[in-house]
Structure 1
Amino acid sequence: MSMSRLFIVAGGAKGIGAAIGTLLAARGHRVAIADIDTDNAARTAQSMGTDHAAYHVDVSDEASVTRLFDAVQKQQGRISGLICAAGLLILPNGQRSPIEKLELEDWERSFAVNTRGAFLCSREFLRRFSAMPTAHGRVVFLGSVAAQLGGYRSSAAYIAAKAGLMGYAKAYAREVAHLGITANCIAPGLIDTDMLRNTIASSGDLDKAANSIPLGRIGSVEDVAAAAAYLVSEEASYLTGSVIDVNGGYRMQ
């Protein structure tokens, strides 16, 4: 059993982020759930029991990220790891925008949350870690199979932003390795979340999508959480700069 540590889950109010926070708490870690959705962040933190807390953050805003880390350090102590789970898929009128109709505002907002947000949070974690190092520093980024395949009903903005994040994760891992920090990226496939259901019109389409996966099912948020829990464990101390595919065989390499 790994020793108890403190993790920030940015984008932890719902979906994959909430599942990761819940599993880390169940394994004895302390968790700070941070999200722009403060109501659901509070509910998620409360559901995990004591020693956990919820915080407001807009990951795309530098000052907001700094305030988050200040608050977590003050209230919960030294931060051992970070999960960058905040994500945004913009679907105007519920539909994917083809590139010729893609608005610059939507492109920039997608990068602000999916890429800049991960940069701001991981940079702040590095600054705090360098000032107060701990054993086994851990950072986990959330990419997407969409960035690897060119998308599954996803917009070009989301695909490009996640691809940028996955490249950044490798650069980050190389730079922080000498500090004893590992940094890895999970690339979820088709996972049963609000984001996926918003891109699929009916349950019939969901069944059709499941049939395209070698393991024959849509993934669960718990599948992704299990991978994240391993990546932050002591057992993963020699794993860094990697992309872990959690996709049921939807993409193999």
Structure 2
Amino acid sequence: MNTAVNAGRVALVTGGGRGIGAALCIHLAQNGFRVVVADIDSENAAGVATDLGKDHIARAVDVANEAAVVGLFNDLETSVGPVGVLVCAAGLLIMPGGERPLIKDMTTDIWERSYAVNTRGAFLCSREFLRHREAKPVPHGRVVFFGSVAAQLGGYRSSAAYIGAKAAVMGYAKAFAREAAHLGITSNVIAPGLIDTEMLRSTVTSSGALAAAAQNIPLGRIGTVDDVTAAVDYLVSPGAAYITGNVIDVNGGYRMQ
């Protein structure tokens, strides 16, 4: 990516304190964006922002909290500048005791919390982004949501709550794409497959289980965060201006359509 094109552009990444979100923050900063690392864990967010350098900032936010999200955007638009790229990477997979809860055993608390972070969080952040861009448009506006191969296949290691929440995000992103199109804003979804992150490792019991899972992937390996950042890199670029309402599968062929 041409860093000169992105100079001065603000990219907000939710869930930026660790995992895929942190990797995205690093990648976007390397490509010229001024990155806002947003995470519910203020220490993690601050650590990532510090590593990125002085032009990048951290903000603590619970994406499921409406007032917190509204306050975050009001703050950024005033003190930092208009957000041009929003990456909704904040996600939550609840695994009590390290085990996937079955539907028959699932509590409403697990269900509601899964939707609050994964779905409501994506809605609240993108709604505020759209409101501010209606008031002050920017060129090359981009929103990237995160779905999951689990939502496409019904999942094997993920709970029904997580699967349902991510499926909702994937549908919502298309509605958002239609309503934001008049501003030149694109809205797309990354649907990661099996990516080597803490979340994936929380669902398997051993490295042998990971190796076995890799055997079911045509490209023969578990994905890396770099595989995901490369796809996001394209979607936030000016070259992706005619792509919106799409789901980009990053899964090594685990699911083909």
CA distance in 2, matches of 1:204, 1:165: 32
Amino acid at match of 1:20: L
- Overall identity of the aligned pairs, in %: 63
Amino acid at match of 2:133: F
Amino acid at match of 2:176: Y
Mapped contact 1:137–1:181 kept (Cα < 8 A)? yes
SS at match of 1:42: helix
Aligned equivalent of 1:144, options 139, 148, 170 = 148
Match of 2:90 in 1: 86
Write out aligned runs for 1:235-246 (5 A). 235-246=239-250
Aligned equivalent of 1:127, options 108, 126, 131 = 131
Cα deviation 1:109-163 (Å, max 9, x = unaligned): 0000000000000000000111111111100001000000001310000000000
Normalized against structure 2, the TM-score is what?
0.97
The CA RMSD over aligned residues, in Å, is: 0.8
Match of 1:3 in 2: 6
Mapped contact 2:6–2:31 kept (Cα < 8 A)? no
Aligned equivalent of 1:168, options 155, 167, 172 = 172
User: Which sits farther off after the overlay, 114-123 or 49-58?
Assistant: 49-58
Aligned equivalent of 1:114, options 112, 115, 118 = 118
Match of 2:17 in 1: 13
CA distance in 1, matches of 2:127, 2:6: 25
CA distance in 2, matches of 1:69, 1:33: 13
CA offset at residue 76 of structure 1?
1.4
Mapped contact 1:141–1:186 kept (Cα < 8 A)? yes
CA distance in 2, matches of 1:43, 1:159: 30
Cα deviation 1:21-70 (Å, max 9, x = unaligned): 11110001110000101111111111111210000100000000011112
CA distance in 1, matches of 2:133, 2:109: 34
CA offset at residue 81 of structure 1?
1.4
CA offset at residue 248 of structure 1?
0.6
- Say whether residues 1:195 and 2:224 are aligned partners: no
Count of residue pairs the alignment pairs up: 253
Amino acid at match of 1:38: S
Aligned equivalent of 1:32, options 12, 36, 41 = 36
Mapped contact 1:20–1:226 kept (Cα < 8 A)? no
Amino acid at match of 1:46: T
- List 4+ stretches of structure 1 deviating above 3 A: none
Match of 2:26 in 1: 22
Cα deviation 1:61-105 (Å, max 9, x = unaligned): 000001111222233111111000000000111100111000011
Mapped contact 1:17–1:86 kept (Cα < 8 A)? yes
Cα deviation 1:196-244 (Å, max 9, x = unaligned): 0000001110111111111111111111111111100001011000000
CA distance in 2, matches of 1:209, 1:42: 34
Unaligned runs of 5+ in 1: none
CA distance in 1, matches of 2:30, 2:156: 32
Amino acid at match of 2:147: G
